A and B are shown apart, each in its own frame.
Chain A
Amino acid sequence: MAIKEKITDYFDKYAQSLNGEKNSYLFSLRKKSIKNFQELGIPTLKNEEWKYTKLNFLNNIDFEISHSSIEGLPNNINISDYFIDNFEGDILVFINGFFEEKYSRIIENKGKIIISSLNDAKIKHSDTIEMYLTKYTDENSNPFTALNTALANDGAVLIIPSNFDSEVPIHLLNINLPLDFNLLTNTRNLVIFEKNATAQLIETSYSIGEMASFHNSVTEIYLKENSELHYNKFQNDSQKSYYIGSTQIHQEKNSRLFSTTISLGGKFIRNNLNSILDGEQSEAHFNGLYFIGNEDFIDNHTLVDHAKPYCDSKENYKGIIDDKATAVFNGKIMVRQKAQKTNAYQSNKNILLSEEATINTKPQLEIFADDVKCSHGATSGYLDKDAIFYFRSRGIDENTAQSYLLNSFSSDIIESVRNNALRDLIKTKVAKKLSMNDLYFCSILESNKI
């Protein structure tokens, strides 16, 4: 059965299985969304937003929709293997799209902020859900967001109270276990930062098993006045994993967003990162690094929507593409008519390492206000030949030279990751990819910015 019909079918059965919940607000959203999904269908390359993104896998792989939590883990699987080494913070574990308290670790922020699963929040925090869910998401244009709203079983609901200020991060860890069949999961996160709150959030997604996994994730974040979020996505998944993740952020006055997305692997990754700067003097920093090989595909779609005056946005994405991999960058800066005195900057730099690697990049500016400073730049190229020659003239072989240069190319993005443990993990993984064993030497190199 084609994926669209399968999903429709599943939804109908799901709807029939409901009793009291049928009258809930959430279900009314779901009904609207499944309709949206059916109308939008699976996008083709003719759809401008999916111009370079082939979604063939949805037709080629027969996915089952995850509908229940697991009964137990196979012996050879240890969830803590997927924790970040030396991580000091709270970890919320989701398996096959369902919250698993027994594998999670919630200590540090317990009692200080509201941490709940979507399943619990449906009842305990229904007012919050009614107030925020789908308020700014692209339900009407993105079928995967609509699909998520219709089907998401679970996810994290976080409410960071006013004046909360903590360096203790929260890690949302989703693990798909497609053990016997190909698995489709939908998770939905809702994060609300009250006035003056500061916190860190990390999202990772892994799949374990021989079968294919498709994780469709949506995170909605609301940053109230003067709040600050450090948001990291780290992706280093298997050749069996397909991932579409959308993060929709709404920023009020004076709020600050620092986002870094690092992708080191995965068969198919599509990251949508959208922020609406909807209050004066709010700022958004988007950083990203994609370093992929094999036949991996990664697509970073970002939108900075300047809706109010005096806001700043700064975007810096870098890519290293090897083997037969393909990367897409589509960055849009929208400056609305009201958003005078906007400062927006965007840069996308790419290095192709192999003859069969591809980059498609589309940095867009859409400007409707006149008193703005906007610039963008995009490059694609190979490493600086003179720099490599300089290394070689000092007796360092070309491969090593290349590793050093790539390490230095990516270092400013990696350094923008706030959490030490995560940053160390990324450094280690990148060094491994570059076959650089001498991490210490690397860090010296970085600090000297060779």
Chain B
Amino acid sequence: MNMQKEPINIVDELTQSDYKYGFVTDIEHELAPKGLNEDTIRFISAKKHEPEFMLEWRLKAFRFWQQMKEPKWANVKFPPIDYQDAYYYAAPKQSANKPKSLDEIDPEIRRTFEKLGIPLTEQQRLAGIAVDAVMDSVSVATTFKEKLSELGIIFCSMSEAIREHPDLVKKYIGSVVPYTDNYFAALNSAVFSDGSFCYIPKGVKCPLELSTYFRINASETGQFERTLIIADEGSYVSYLEGCTAPIRDENQLHAAVVELIAHKDAEIKYSTVQNWYPGDKEGKGGIYNFVTKRGICEGNNSKISWTQVETGSAITWKYPSCILKGDNSIGEFYSVALTNNYQQADTGTKMIHLGQNTKSRIVSKGISAGKSQNSYRGLVSVGKKAMNARNYSQCDSLLLGDKCGAHTFPYIEVKNNTATVEHEATTSKISEDILFYCNQRGISTEDAIGLIVNGFSREVLNQLPMEFAVEAQRLLAISLEGSVG
């Protein structure tokens, strides 16, 4: 007669949580014909009334993409993707003419975002946060636009930016992530449908958190959004992004590109809470999240900071990176990646030190449970001219159960002898001994794991704005939640 729960059962139970955002909104979609060819691209460009330069750029990217092969180096496994068997453009019907005011939004869409915790009406909008809500291929609403424009801040959907601010777009799009960069960046450049655009003028400290909420709703579609943030001299912006998708048996592709440009003395803080549908307990369905995110610290004394909490997606493949070109510029990367069931994550960062006295800091926390595989892959590169560059990297892994894996692949390339680069990594587990010790102090197993996971992730969660930190903490708990009797 043994009252103890087998530890393996605890882990099993913990991995049997449910995805809370898996509902489907029943609205009509306008779709591009299935498949991918030059006509698809012309269709998308025409739908968006884009200027000629944009279409040409898309076509160049598409032709380049056709020459490329899907990369194989990441530590992830998935069946071949049939790029012809998906829709590349899906828009909620009503939004063909984007409503002028927030209150005109299709109530069905509004309810969707309310369910996701993102109220879009003028009365209910979140205080202190301006939201661009993107459903499938298009932006459906942007809040606080007028208030921001008083400061000269441009915050709108990418489609709108291409129409209204073509010079800025032309100057910066592809300047950090050229379409030649990699397979998925090329694909994105060809077919991207929407995304957010943000320009902070000289000397302006953006008073609101800017945020984009991405929602995939339609089936058999890929989502290819493109985000471009430019912080002009001496400006500051904090930007947040969140993502969810319905539960579907199929795998859906999400291949986004994010480009950040920080000019002299500017600072961009970019936070992501990624909660795409991760697939079910047997590993069926879920989003393939293949994302290219990169920022350049163009001017001296600029700073780019990436923070990510990754709990969703069947496969995550992303490396938010910083090119530290300006002297004294700073790059930061804070990440918590949690994988459960059959999820696979291969994520990390690249810190490219080019300027003098550049600094970078990497804090990566990987949590693996179930039968998941969690990899950190990072590059710290110090160029010949990067005098006194400094990097500190820390990669910690936490394992729950004995069927998951944690992997660390740090690459360090140093070509300057005044540089100091430090990398540390540890692996630990939540052992039965620890759980029993907590139980003996009256703390249930579920709470004990929550306590440890939060402690483990604290350094990263602290980087998030308050509202998001609470949300992220909850998300981490939910992702491991089960029942403990």
Interface residues of A (CB under 8 A from B): 48, 52, 337, 340, 350, 352-382
Residues 367-389 of B contacting A (Cβ, < 8 Å): 382, 384
Q: Is the CB of B424 within 8 A of A377?
A: yes
B411 touches A375 (CB 8 A): no
- Tally of contact residues, B, Cβ under 8 A: 36
**Chain B positions 397-419 with a Cβ under 8 Å from a chain A Cβ:** 397, 399-419
B462 — which chain A residues lie within 8 A by C-beta?
none
B98 interface residue, CB < 8 Å from A? no
- Per the bound structure, the CA–CA distance linking A364 and B419 in Å amounts to 22
Stretch in B157-165, B344-352, B425-433 with 4+ CB within 8 Å of A: B425-433
In the complex, chain A residues whose CB is within 8 Å of the CB of B418: 382
Closest chain A residue to B402 by CB distance?
A: A370
* B6 smallest CB distance to A (angstroms): 15
Contact with A along B219-249 (1 / 0, CB 8 A): 0000000000000000000000000000000
Q: Are A367 and B413 in contact (CB under 8 A)?
A: no
Contact A372-B427, Cβ < 8 Å, known A377-B422, A380-B421, A381-B419: yes
What residues of A have a CB within 8 angstroms of the CB of B78 in the complex? none
Contact B408 A364 (CB under 8 A): yes
- B423 interface residue, CB < 8 Å from A? yes
Least Cβ–Cβ distance between B358 and chain A, in angstroms: 15
**Contacting pair A358 B415 (CB below 8 A):** yes
By the criterion CB–CB under 8 Å, are B422 and A376 in contact? no
| Residue from B404, B407, B413 within 8 A of A370 (CB atoms) | B404
Would you call B423 and A373 a contact (CB within 8 A)?
no
Choose among A355, A361, A366, A368 the residue that contacts B412 (Cβ–Cβ < 8 A): A361
B420 within 8 A of A: yes
| A370/B400 in contact, CB under 8 A | yes
Given A359-B414, A380-B412, also A371-B426 (CB < 8 A): no
18 new A-B contacts, CB < 8 A, other than A365-B408, A373-B428, are A354-B417, A362-B409, A363-B423, A365-B406, A366-B408, A367-B397, A370-B400, A371-B402, A373-B427, A375-B425, A376-B408, A377-B423, A378-B412, A380-B414, A380-B421, A381-B419, A381-B421, A381-B422
A85 CB to nearest chain B CB (Å): 34
CB neighbours (8 Å) of B416 from chain A are 352, 355
Secondary structure at the B interface, as helix, strand, loop or mixed, is strand
Say whether B402 contacts A369, CB under 8 Å. yes
CB distance from B379 to the nearest CB of A (A): 9
* Chain A residues, CB < 8 A from B405: 366-368
Q: Which residue of B lies closest to A381 (CB)?
A: B420
Closest chain B CB from A50 CB (angstroms) = 14
Q: In whole Å, how far is B370's beta carbon from the nearest beta carbon of chain A?
A: 12
Closest to A354 in B: B417
**With known contacts A352-B417, A375-B426, A381-B420, A363–B402 Cβ distance under 8 A:** no
| Contact between A352 and B414, CB atoms less than 8 A apart | yes
Chain A residues positioned under 8 Å from B427 (CB to CB): 365, 367, 372-375
Min CB distance B183 to A, Å, is: 15
Residue numbers in A under 8 Å from B426 (CB-CB): 374-375
Which of the residues A362, A377, A379 comes within 8 Å of B411, measured between beta carbons? A362
**Shortest distance from the beta carbon of B331 to any chain A beta carbon, whole Å:** 17
Sorted nearest first, the 8 A-B pairs with minimum C-beta distance are A352-B417, A370-B399, A381-B420, A365-B408, A374-B427, A380-B421, A380-B414, A378-B423
What residue of chain A has the Cβ atom nearest to residue B394's Cβ? A377
Max chain A Cβ within 10 angstroms of own Cβ: one of B401, B422, B423, B428: B423
Give B263 Cβ to nearest chain A Cβ, in Å. Answer: 30
Please give, as numbers and ranges, the residues of chain B lying within 8 Å of A365 by CB-CB distance.
397, 406-408, 425, 427
Cα distance A367–B411 when bound, in Å?
18
| Distance A362 CA – B413 CA, assembled complex (angstroms) | 9
Give the nearest-CB partner of B399 in chain A: A370
Contact call B417/A355, Cβ cutoff below 8 A: yes
* 30 residue pairs from A and B, CB less than 8 Å apart: A48-B73, A340-B402, A352-B417, A352-B419, A354-B417, A355-B384, A356-B384, A358-B414, A359-B413, A359-B414, A360-B414, A361-B412, A362-B410, A363-B410, A363-B423, A364-B410, A365-B397, A366-B408, A367-B399, A367-B427, A368-B405, A370-B399, A370-B400, A370-B401, A371-B429, A372-B427, A372-B429, A375-B426, A376-B425, A379-B420
Which of chain B's residues have a CB closer than 8 A to the CB of A352? Answer: 414, 416-417, 419
Which A residue sits closest to B427, measured CB to CB? A374
Q: Identify which of A358, A375, A380 gathers the most chain B CB atoms within 10 Å of its CB.
A: A380
**Are B414 and A350 within 8 A (Cβ)?**
yes
Residues of B within 8 A of A372 (CB): 427, 429
**Residue numbers in A under 8 Å from B421 (CB-CB):** 378-381
Q: How far is the CB of B383 from chain A (nearest CB, A)?
A: 11
Distance in angstroms from A221 CB to nearest chain B CB is 28
Closest partner residue, chain B, to A378 (CB atom):
B423
Give the complex CA separation of A279 and B414 in angstroms.
38
Q: Are A367 and B407 closer than 8 Å at their CB atoms?
A: yes
Interface string of B145-158 (1 = CB under 8 A from A): 00000000000000
- Roughly how many angstroms separate A355 CA and B411 CA in the complex, as a whole number? 20
* B129 CB to nearest chain A CB (Å): 38
Point out the residues of chain A lying under 8 angstroms from B424, CB to CB.
375-377
CB-contact partner of A371 in B408, B423, B431, under 8 A: B431
| Closest-CB distance, A322 to chain B (whole angstroms) | 9
Contact partners of A355 in chain B: CB under 8 A? 384, 416-417
Cα–Cα, bound, A196→B384 (Å): 52
CA distance A377 to B429 in the complex (A): 19
The interface residues of chain A lying within 8 Å CB-to-CB of B408 are 363-366, 376
B380 nearest in chain A by CB position: A380
Within 8 A of A (CB), among B254-294: none
Nearest B residue (CB) for A364: B409
Please, which residues of chain A bring their CB within 8 A of the CB of B425? 363, 365, 374-377
Taking a contact as CB atoms under 8 Å apart, the answer to whether A366 and B407 are in contact is yes
- Verify A359–B412 contact, CB threshold 8 A: yes
| Residues of A close to B399: CB separation below 8 A | 367, 370
Which residue on A lies nearest to B411, using beta carbons?
A: A362
B residues less than 8 Å from A367 (CB atoms)? 397, 399, 405-407, 427
On chain B, the residues within 8 Å of A337 by CB distance are: 402-403
What's the Cα separation between A353 and B423 when bound, in Å?
20
B residues less than 8 Å from A360 (CB atoms): 411-414
- Alpha-carbon gap, A372 to B431, bound state (A): 10
> Of A375, A377, A379, A382, which contacts B417 at CB under 8 A?
A382
| CB-CB nearest in chain A for B417 | A352
Residues of B within 8 A of A380 (CB): 382, 412, 414, 419-421
The residue of chain B having its C-beta at the shortest distance from the C-beta of A367 within the complex is B406
The answer for the CA separation of A375 and B425 in the assembled complex, in Å, is 5
How far apart are the CA atoms of A156 and B416 in the complex, in Å? 42
B404 partner residues in chain A, CB cutoff 8 A: 370
Which chain B residues lie closer than 8 Å to A379 at the CB level? 420-423
Of all chain A residues, the one with the shortest Cβ separation from B392 is A379
Q: Which residues of chain B come closer than 8 Å to A373, judged between CB atoms?
A: 427-428
B414 contacts across to A, CB distance below 8 A: 350, 352, 358-361, 380
- Assembled-state Cα–Cα distance A52/B406 (Å): 25
B14 to chain A, nearest CB (A): 13
CA–CA, A361 and B422, complex, Å: 11
In the complex, chain B residues whose CB is within 8 Å of the CB of A382? 417-418, 420
B413 touches A358 (CB 8 A): yes
Which residues between 61 and 101 of chain B lie within 8 Å of chain A, taking CB atoms? 73
Interchain CA distance A376-B409 in the complex, whole Å: 11
Please give the distance in Å from A226's CB to the nearest CB on chain B.
Answer: 28
The answer to whether B429 touches A370 (Cβ under 8 A) is: yes
- Residue of chain A at shortest CB distance from B396: A375
A380 to B416, CA, bound (A): 10
C-alpha spacing A365/B73, complex, angstroms: 16
- A341 CA / B427 CA spacing, docked (Å): 12
Report the separation of the CA atoms of residues A353 and B416 in the bound assembly, to the nearest whole angstrom: 9
A371 to B435, alpha carbons, bound, how many Å?
Answer: 14
